[in-house]
Amino acid sequence: MSDKKLRLTLCKSLNGRLAAHRACAEGLGLRKIRQTVEVIDTRENRGMVDKIGYMLKVQEI
């Protein structure tokens, strides 16, 4: 199990995005612009980050 984490900040609006992209943001715990969350660095979370990376600011911590 990985003890690394990712700090994610939503930089762009979810309005007008594909339903799958909205679902990824919600799955990561992001709801509002400029909201920041920390998630565990797993393959599943990395896949969601890769899918909506154009809307996020990502920092490894």
Predicted pLDDT at 3: 82
Taken as a whole, the chain contains a residue count of 61
CATH architecture group of domain 5-60: 2-Layer Sandwich (3.30)
The three-point CA angle 2-26-48 to 5° equals 45
Q: pLDDT tens-digit profile of 2-58?
A: 689 999 999 999 999 999 999 999 999 999 999 999 999 999 999 999 999 999 999
| Separation between Cα atoms, residue 19 and residue 61, nearest integer Å | 29
